[in-house]
Structure 1
């Protein structure tokens, strides 16, 4: 008999189920030609005794192999490797069989830049030195704990219902968990019914704009603002009105003057750490915006993408915590708390809005990643995320201080900046050097950094960039600023 015990190695401590270990081992031997077409396999009882496993394990393995087309069971004869094996590698067609090449373009017209020109997605060499827009350090995320929760979710019977289609508003488990977290940490008087889980903040902005805006509607954004949110609003056909942004955020007087002249439908604002300038809006301006929204009946998108990362004092509570009229759509994300690759964000709003935006979501995305949502809820409930936030806030504060010291000591009056109260980047103006040239020279020396163009509006060239400090340790910061200094 073929030496099954020698090539089927069972590891009872592995994550892979034992029956799948048997399946994988048998397939491997068939692929190698050790088990040829027509070879007879031992019965389930016999193989179970050889491998010292339960007979039901072998039955499950054989069922899986039959389902995949590797074996067949013949009545009163036994179990055999099939004569016609599943194709291991697709047959390569000869050039003469290929026919016409696949077309490079469609025969019909398309709008290639319907939502404007987003910067091309670039995945740089992981070994490259990068000053990004202000992203977390992915080396710090509690990966093992997250993976442990994902494995637990996949196994526990209590969570099996989340393996099927679910609620477009998100899993109830995370909505309940997150609403409690936001009540406790941000003072939001909400319940799970006020929360919808999204695939990141940008999805929340897009869905909100699609639901609220139609061609010709009037939208207010800052003169400097998050470029993607502006493009999203523009693609609905809405008209964009820009107002100044100063050291205290968006100019509320300018907002009021626009409200007197036009029927404003939507205001987009980032009061906590404005993007790109990082400034924080004081409470009095926030209250005035809420009063204007109540008076002129416009909606507010409050984008609070990095609330947890504040270094000088307790952060100011969101505008949503003071909204008694139902004016504010509050949008946040876990991409900064954990890593950008984990696409989980949220919308907080009155219940009628949540129902409507969830219905709209169904047109483009049936639901989110339920298993990931449950795993993240578990990380909230067992305190992992709160501990992670405390840890990285202290570390990012140290990195901010070191980075700003380097800017002062090495670059001096060639740049201008203000120490940010929070966030993960420093808004830096290059006083005498063209930032585009600085960026190009830096790239030649192995440093990837922004050329600042995405922050410019048609009327303004800031010659400035967000220089992200959070993802660089102190040694990496030293090297980056050394290169930058040599490019000025």
Structure 2
């Protein structure tokens, strides 16, 4: 093990205790409060003496005292914290808090944290991409090329790396029908980071913001974090009910509406053309910002892709949120915002007060893949694979759970929205399924008020056909 420094506060000349006892006392305190744990190695006597600017014999005397008291043990020229000591409880101060416990100050109520996928669990949650299919070889080569540009390791444009913004503008023009330039685009930390930045820029504490019900709880938490008062608007088989949104406007002004019109989260329905036109007109007349989250635009399997609201926005009311996470991987945190140039400048100014910029090297690597057409080719491959998995899940559900669940096969997306027979005890089914190694998300998780509903959301993209068949077989067994 390399020599390491171990800071200890000494009071030479001011304390009546000898220095070796001060050292021993400091180490005892570090063991009690958990800084040093059973089995941890202490620095060598020469190293600690050099760090504290004391004679080595002083350190040796401290170590001998600790060993005699049973706090440490000598082992092969190394002094370690005794292994038979109990783990130290969290340190506490007189107010009852502590570094690992309750703080000595007030905190706002935290938003609920998202549950992560558990290892070994066949999880239907999330509609996440299959990380086993990420083209890591292509990404690694692109990253190495980007890393050779040392200027990317310094501070850069808060709007994001210029080549990536240019490549994204071209991609959005070719695939989503958006007429945007790189100056009307901002790269952010995933679609969630993009929404957070937009919310903190546009929304003032107390502003009313409409959201879909059922909808996306993580987005609700982000909007609440900016001080918004959320106003739920019902969703039906044609998406957000614009008549209901108009009624909410009569009750009081709205600052924005957040929605997922392409593949509504979680029901997967697509907003129809007439509602889209009415929504755009309503937003224009009431100066209402439309926060359009097009989170899985690449995965539309049947019919013509439905173009985003942002593609037909003469009033300049739509803020378009997108991501590369579904094509590549969420851990890369590659989301983006498209909107009027003034909005992008305001977002950049806001970002400069927080993290300054994103990861320019990762962004340049993504630009490289887009410029070479490799990312587009990978997206087409993923579309074919995920369409096959959608078909496989639908077939397995019909074979094993026919009569218990019903669903409409969506034209796109990464999940199915199931209607469950009301006679089934849904919560008991979910508990039994988990014991058999299958993770499920109930409909109440997406209800604005958390009310129980006879629905399940099954994400199919992260499991292959064999895993999907096995997961559904276990669901039938749990039932």
Whole-angstrom CA distance in 2 between matches of 1:299 and 1:287: 15
Mean CA deviation greater in 243-252 or 453-462? 453-462
Question: TM-score, normalising length from structure 1?
Answer: 0.77
Quick check: 1:476 aligned with 2:467?
A: yes
Root-mean-square deviation (CA, aligned residues, Å) is 2.5
- For 1:175, the equivalent position in structure 2 comes to 165
Aligned partners of 1:271, 1:163: CA distance in 2, in Å?
Answer: 38
Instruction: Give me the whole-angstrom Cα distance separating, in 2, the residues matched to 1:459 and 1:140.
Output: 34
Change (3 A) 1:135 1:122: closer
Verify: 1:435 aligned to 2:431, yes or no.
Answer: no
Distance 1:92 1:470, change over 3 A: same
Q: What runs of 5+ residues in structure 1 fail to find an aligned partner?
A: 1-26, 31-88
Distance 2:225 2:316 in 1: 25
1:128 positional shift: 3.1
Number of positions where the alignment pairs a residue of Structure 1 with one of Structure 2: 398
Larger deviation, residues 127-136 vs 323-332: 127-136
2:112 is the counterpart of 1:117: yes
User: Is structure 2 residue 373 aligned with structure 1 residue 354?
Assistant: no
TM-score (norm 2): 0.78
Name which of 458, 467, 470 aligns with 2:449: 458
Change over 3 Å in CA distance of 1:90–1:349 after alignment to 2: farther
For the residues of structure 1 that align with 2:419 and 2:108, how far apart are their CA atoms?
A: 33
Structure 2's unaligned 5+ residue stretches are: 4-76, 93-97
| TM-fit CA distance, 1:168 | 1.2
Which whole-Å deviations, capped at 9, do the CAs of 1:133-152 have from their partners, x for residues lacking one? 21111111111000011111
- Residue 460 of structure 1 deviates from its aligned partner by 3.4
Select which of 391, 416, 424 maps to 1:426: 416
Asked if structure 2 preserves the Cα contact closer than 8 Å seen for 1:400 and 1:469, the reply is yes
Is 1:135 equivalent to 2:125 in the alignment?
Answer: no
Please report how far the alpha carbon of residue 91 of structure 1 lies from its aligned counterpart in structure 2 after TM superposition: 7.3
| Matching of residue 398 in structure 1 with residue 394 in structure 2 | no
Separation in 2 of the partners of 1:323 and 1:139? 38
Q: Equivalent residues in 2 for 1:82-97 (5 A)?
A: none
Q: Aligned partners of 1:236, 1:482: CA distance in 2, in Å?
A: 43
Distance 1:397 1:197, change over 3 A: same
- In the TM superposition, what is the alpha-carbon distance from 1:409 to its structure 2 partner? 2.0
Partner of 2:17: none
Q: Distance in 1 between matches of 2:425 and 2:448?
A: 17
The answer to whether structure 1 residue 105 and structure 2 residue 101 are counterparts is: yes
Match of 1:202 in 2: 192
CA distance in 2: counterparts of 1:453 and 1:110, whole angstroms: 31
**Offset, 1:457:** 2.6
Determine helix, strand or coil for the equivalent of 1:244.
strand
Post-superposition offset of 1:171: 0.6
1:152-191 to 2 correspondence within 5 Å?
152-155=145-148, 159-191=149-181
Q: Contact (CA 8 Å) 1:195, 1:354: kept in 2 or not?
A: yes
